[in-house]
């Protein structure tokens, strides 16, 4: 964001000098200022590109996290079903043991 602010300040300074008709601005000063504005424009474009890439990576990470959560939920469901089956089997064994003891 600092490059954006610097670019705006450079453009504003250039506009003020030109609007005031300041004759003390030499061509070399104008060219130097123009080069700085061009560099700031390139820096801003580069920063935007990096931000876009970071946003895409973040989005992809979010999708992968959602997929991992879905897999974890499926594993939890399978574990719960397995525990229910184990509990039912233990109950059957207990009933069979009680019946054999009753005889």
**DSSP sequence for 58-89:** HHHHHHHHHHHHHHHHHHHHHHHHHHHHHHHH
CA distance between the termini of the chain = 85
pLDDT for 29 beyond 80: yes
pLDDT-derived band at 1, boundaries 50, 70, 90 = low
Q: What percent of the chain has pLDDT over 90?
A: 60
Residue 83 and residue 87: Cα distance in Å, rounded?
A: 6
Please count the CA atoms within 13 angstroms of the CA of 92 that sit on its side-chain side. 6
Distance CA 103, CA 81 (A): 34
At 99 the pLDDT is: 86
- Is the Cβ–Cβ distance between 44 and 3 less than 8 Å? yes
Encode pLDDT of 55-84 as tens digits.
999 999 999 999 999 999 999 999 999 999
Longest dimension (CA), the chain: 118
pTM equals: 0.52
């Amino acid at each position: 964001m600092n490059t954006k602010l610097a670019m705006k300040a450079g453009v504003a300074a250039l506009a003020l000098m030109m609007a005031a008709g300041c004759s003390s601005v030499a061509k070399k000063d104008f060219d130097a200022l123009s080069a700085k504005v061009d560099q700031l424009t390139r820096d801003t474009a580069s920063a935007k590109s990096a931000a876009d890439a970071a946003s895409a990576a973040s989005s992809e990470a979010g999708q992968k996290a959602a997929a991992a959560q879905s897999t974890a939920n499926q594993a939890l469901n399978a574990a719960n079903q397995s525990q229910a089956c184990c509990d039912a089997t233990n109950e059957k064994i207990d009933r069979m043991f009680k019946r054999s003891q009753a005889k």
